[in-house]
Amino acid sequence: MLGADAYRARLEAGLEGLALPLEGQAVDRLLGWLALHERWSRAFNLTGSQAPEVLIDGHLLDCAAILPALPPSGVLYDVGSGAGLPGLVLAALAPERPFILVESLGKRVRFLEQVIAELDLKHVSVQQSRAEATAFDPEAAGILVRAVASLEKLCGLLAAPLHAGGRLLAMKGDQWPQEWAPLERRFRLEARYAYRVPGYDQERVLLTIRAGEQR
């Protein structure tokens, strides 16, 4: 297992590979998440993986990669936040940006609250709720989802905020066209941001989806 200095070096190299600005406190916050994840995972299964190398490359860097593609301002919801992926990662990199983490499981909510407190993320809050039961602010910048469900299921669960003018920001792998195909007559793909995480060959995308037919 790598040591703390090696984790920092791996994380900094990955952020540099993504062309994201390196800022010491942001890296410290991400390493703080990693340490808290390790501590909590002794009792709870938060992500399915406890290997720090996988957590850094496959989770932290994957989430960080979408930072340049986010709407420039406004609150962002992270639905099915789990261990705070991607919401806490993005908040660590952009601590002045407001995030609302939506999570239904109590143990994960407690983890999220602990991370927010220890990393002093003043603009992040948690709502214990299911997606379909959440009252979304219609003025929000978007609703983020990662590794939650298929696009068809997500658009069904989030039908109310989407038809009220909301924006779904869905992180997907290279099989996204198959998920999108059944929806293209009812929803429109406003934007597609493709990226690759250092060390991984598979292309990833952030899809911006809104209600209404494709223009």
Asked if residue 97 lies in contact with residue 67, where contact means CB atoms within 8 angstroms, the answer is no
pLDDT of residue 51: 82
Asked if residue 204 lies in contact with residue 196, where contact means CB atoms within 8 angstroms, the answer is yes
Cα dihedral 205/143/26/37 (nearest 10)? -90
pLDDT digits (tens, 9 = 90+) for 112-147: 999 999 999 999 999 999 999 999 998 999 999 998
Model pTM? 0.94
pLDDT digits (tens, 9 = 90+) for 48-62: 767 888 899 999 999
Q: Where are the domains of the chain?
A: 4-211
Q: What is the homologous superfamily of the domain 4-211 according to CATH?
A: Vaccinia Virus protein VP39 (3.40.50.150)
pLDDT of residue 213: 67
Residues of the chain falling short of pLDDT 70 = 1-3, 49, 213-215
pLDDT of residue 214: 59
